[in-house]
């Protein structure tokens, strides 16, 4: 097992560079500039330039060591923070805490990744692929195929997303499905001929009530109680005195298992109008497959052993509702352990931060996991 003593000052210096490269997902030019910064820092540390892969305008970064794929290291360099956020949320290190836009989610994890690989010998690096995507916060549409291709045939994927509360690793993530339900009605004057209309807003209300009851059906049939179906954005109508002839419902679905995801999809597609003159059209479907506990159990056991040998104290794990690229790697059958990135909190919020004392230890742990898996 490797014995790594990362330089905290060097880690912080590199982290400052990545945080300074603002990378709001919707700004493809900023994401491209961030990718170049990531590439420059990584080239200096690893002695090898990466590929910059542009897919539909989004820039991703990939390093490949050797010709055989055994270990995938995964992360993203885009953030939810609009360009200019450094002015209101500057890089700062004070009292053991570092702050800045995207520092927790997940630029600190990227620096840990680079320093962990830099600590390995050339032989230990052989078989490693590093993929850092530029669209995770936008849903991963341009990077999904890249991630899945890199994960196929690998022994393990280690995801450098930020940890959960108190540094917990993420051993399960819910799958995600997104739907849009379009309601068709018939317009009429609300005061003169409301009875001649078909109110799409009222029909939408019926459909919303049906949607929120679907988890009970899934729980009864699949035995789980953590599926959520959440109507989010709802629109209807054109003017205040017209019976709405159309409505739209956006629906966010989170599921713990593939069985639940499949069952919810079936039920949503079976929705029928309550009013005989209305229509219901469903679009969308499953997007992120779930990362189920079976995909991470063995890797978490190994991480506990490595942490103990390194004197890092006990590890613990949690299941979370948010998705990551680890959902895609698990979806193609690759063992996946997530949440190996920074310890801190406040993702996407004003108080986003990391606890800097954990940076060297998390880097050491990742290096040990890579070495053990890549033997």
Residues identified as active-site: 78, 136
The C-alpha atoms of residue 359 and residue 346 are separated, in whole angstroms, by 17
Categorise residue 221: left if φ over 0, alpha if ψ from -120 to 50, beta otherwise.
Answer: alpha
The C-alpha atoms of residue 357 and residue 355 are separated, in whole angstroms, by 6
> Tokens in use for 47?
């002695």
Q: 114 Cβ partners below 8 Å, 6+ apart?
A: 14, 41, 42, 45, 46
Instruction: Write down the H helix ranges in 47-107.
Output: none
The C-alpha atoms of residue 127 and residue 65 are separated, in whole angstroms, by 6
Categorise residue 360: left if φ over 0, alpha if ψ from -120 to 50, beta otherwise.
Answer: alpha
> Tokens in use for 366?
């990742």
The C-alpha atoms of residue 176 and residue 255 are separated, in whole angstroms, by 6
């Amino acid at each position: 097992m490797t014995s790594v003593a990362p330089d905290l000052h060097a880690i912080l210096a590199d982290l400052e560079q990545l945080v300074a490269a603002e990378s709001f997902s919707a700004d493809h030019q900023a994401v491209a500039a961030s990718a170049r910064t990531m590439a420059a820092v990584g080239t200096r540390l690893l002695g090898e330039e990466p590929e910059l892969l542009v897919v539909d305008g989004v820039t991703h970064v990939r390093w490949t060591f050797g010709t055989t794929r055994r270990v995938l290291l995964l992360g993203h360099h885009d953030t939810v923070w609009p360009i200019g956020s450094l002015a209101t949320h500057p890089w700062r290190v004070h009292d053991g805490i570092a702050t800045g836009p995207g520092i927790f989610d997940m630029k600190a994890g990227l620096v840990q990744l680079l320093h962990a690989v830099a600590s390995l010998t050339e032989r230990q690096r052989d078989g490693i692929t590093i993929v850092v995507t530029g669209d995770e916060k936008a849903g991963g549409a341009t990077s999904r195929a890249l991630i899945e291709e890199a994960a196929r045939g690998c022994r393990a994927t280690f995801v450098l997303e930020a940890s959960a509360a108190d540094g917990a690793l993420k051993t399960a993530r819910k799958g995600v499905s997104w739907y849009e339900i379009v309601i068709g009605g018939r317009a009429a004057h609300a005061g003169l001929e409301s009875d001649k209309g078909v109110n799409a807003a009222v029909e939408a209300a019926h459909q919303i009530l049906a949607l929120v009851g679907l988890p009970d059906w899934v729980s009864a049939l699949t035995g789980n109680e953590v599926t959520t179906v959440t109507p989010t954005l709802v629109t209807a109508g054109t003017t205040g005195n017209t019976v709405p002839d159309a409505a739209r419902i956006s629906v966010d679905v989170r599921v713990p298992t593939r069985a639940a995801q499949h069952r919810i999809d079936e039920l949503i597609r079976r929705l029928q109008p309550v009013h005989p003159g209305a229509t219901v059209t469903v679009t969308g479907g499953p997007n992120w497959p779930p990362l189920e506990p079976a995909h991470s159990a063995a890797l978490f056991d190994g991480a506990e052993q490595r942490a103990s040998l390194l004197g890092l104290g006990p590890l613990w794990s949690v299941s979370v509702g948010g998705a990551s690229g680890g959902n895609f790697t698990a979806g193609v059958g690759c063992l996946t352990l997530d949440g190996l990135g920074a310890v801190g909190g406040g993702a996407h919020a004003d108080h986003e931060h990391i606890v800097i004392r954990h940076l060297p230890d998390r880097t050491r742990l990742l290096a040990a996991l890579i070495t053990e898996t890549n033997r």
